[in-house]
Amino acid sequence: MQAILEVKDLSKTYIVSKRQNNVLRNVSFSIKQGEMVAVMGPSGSGKSTLLYTVSGMDPLTAGTVLFLGEDISKVTGNQMADIRLNKMGFIFQQMFMMKNLSIYDNIILPAYESKEVRGKQARKEKNEYAKDLMRKMQIIEIAENDINEISGGQLQRACICRCLINKPDIIFADEPTGSLNKQASADVMDEILRVNQEGTAVLLVTHDVRVAAKCERVLYITDGKISGEYLSGKYEGEETLRDRERVLNNWLLDRGW
């Protein structure tokens, strides 16, 4: 199966008050098409920095990141912006949307920004695709609402629709359920799982063992390095979740979680 993302000896260093802060050190891993991988670790271990660096939002200091075989450190800023727009999807804990646009307009905006969507017919097709996504996420009834008129769970599902509008090869998710209640968290994870089962790779940062237990691999980071990798296989449904969560939790405790 094709590797979507290949990371080798990745390092990220920040200079703070003339002192080096080595946030990531010689990190290596890969993600194949259709895989769902969680990143876990203590606070400050480099989880979010890893996500931002491998997705090209933050430049790397050393090492190699290949996305669909292309070294992202060697592309221009505009080329990287095009890759993020057309090939990657992003879901964040803090759900950023434009306040002056409706939910539907926020979702469709990345498609209209894409160079691949030109002409009335292409835009019409994207409009229908946006509505189909909203129906699948069960938020079509809030299409014309402002972002301050809906619940956190609805807003996060709208963010998922937005990240899928250009049919990305991979989704990067940073604590996608961190600000949601238990039911909204479960609903959002169900949608991420559904997208993953349709073939989209997912790399997500989470502190929630229940969320990580639904992934097929867990990378554990301490002090900027991958100190362990847990393989749990494809998630097969709610009836298996309790056992998966228990075994994963024991593995995490062995690593000082």
Residue pLDDT, tens place only, 149-167: 998 889 888 999 999 999 9
Give the residue, 36 or 237, on which the prediction is more confident: 36
As a whole number of angstroms, the distance between CA 77 and CA 92 comes to: 22
Q: Three-state SS for 254? A: helix
Question: Which letter, b or e, does each residue of 218-246 get, where b requires 16 or more Cβ atoms within 10 Å of its Cβ?
Answer: bbbbbebbbebebebeebeeeeeeeebbe
Q: Is the pLDDT of residue 255 over 70?
A: yes
As a whole number of angstroms, the distance between CA 6 and CA 29 comes to: 6
As a whole number of angstroms, the distance between CA 157 and CA 77 comes to: 29
State the average pLDDT over residues 120-131: 87
Q: Three-state SS for 252? A: helix
Percent pLDDT > 90 in the chain is 70
Superfamily of domain 3-254: P-loop containing nucleotide triphosphate hydrolases (3.40.50.300)
Residue pLDDT, tens place only, 31-47: 999 999 999 999 889 99
- Identify whether the C-beta of residue 163 lies closer than 8 Å to the C-beta of residue 108: no
**Predicted local distance difference test score (pLDDT) of residue 187:** 84
Q: Is the pLDDT of residue 118 over 70?
A: no
State the average pLDDT over residues 87-92: 92
Residue pLDDT, tens place only, 167-188: 999 999 998 888 778 887 888 8
DSSP for 32-72, please give it. ETT-EEEEE-STTSSHHHHHHHHTTSS--SEEEEEETTEEG
As a whole number of angstroms, the distance between CA 215 and CA 37 comes to: 6
Q: Three-state SS for 239? A: helix
State the average pLDDT over residues 9-21: 87
Can you state the angle between helices 103-113 and 120-136, rounded to 10 degrees? 140
